[in-house]
Amino acid sequence: MKKILFLLLCVGLWGNVDAQRSNIKRLQGVYDSIKAAGIRHPDVVMAQCIQETGWLECNRCCLGYNNLFGFYNKSKKCMRFSTEGDCIAYYKKWQDKRYDKWHNTYPGQDYFHFLKSVKYATGDKYTAEVKPALDWVRKNLSL
């Protein structure tokens, strides 16, 4: 049983590696757009994008609506954007509306604290899920 679980884990990890390798140009392009929009902490935001969209390859998430970050409306449905650029612009406005107030209140905290504070992240589990993607972003994309 342990061997089967180990094999399934290896196959799952290999799938992520394969997705990373095949999508690196697209991932770099999204990162470049995030950075060009002037979004703060673009490496963390890119890691959020990776987490929310399954390396830009998910079929059962908001990505089909050009929603890179899993934003939901008040009816708890995926927000729809005409383009990925529109979604990135929305993130910028969303961040600008909240960031300075948070930063003035918690000047020594990191961006993960911001995400929890503004109720984007549901808790420490989200941070733990995003951090491996952040490590990958920092190692593999041109920052």
5 or 110, which is more confident? 110
Residue 7: its pLDDT value, please? 45
User: Which tens digits make up the pLDDT trace of 18-66?
Assistant: 555 569 999 999 999 999 999 999 999 999 999 999 999 999 999 999 9
- Strand partners of residue 126: none
| pTM of structure | 0.85
* The two structure tokens encoding residue 54: 């399954």
**How wide is the angle at C-alpha 131 spanned by C-alphas 38 and 24, nearest 5°?**
65
Residue 4: its pLDDT value, please? 46
23-37: burial string, b at 16+ Cβ within 10 Å, e else: beeebeebbebbbeb
Instruction: Please state which CATH class domain 26-140 belongs to.
Output: mainly alpha
Please compute the mean of the pLDDT values over residues 125-137 and round it to a whole number: 97
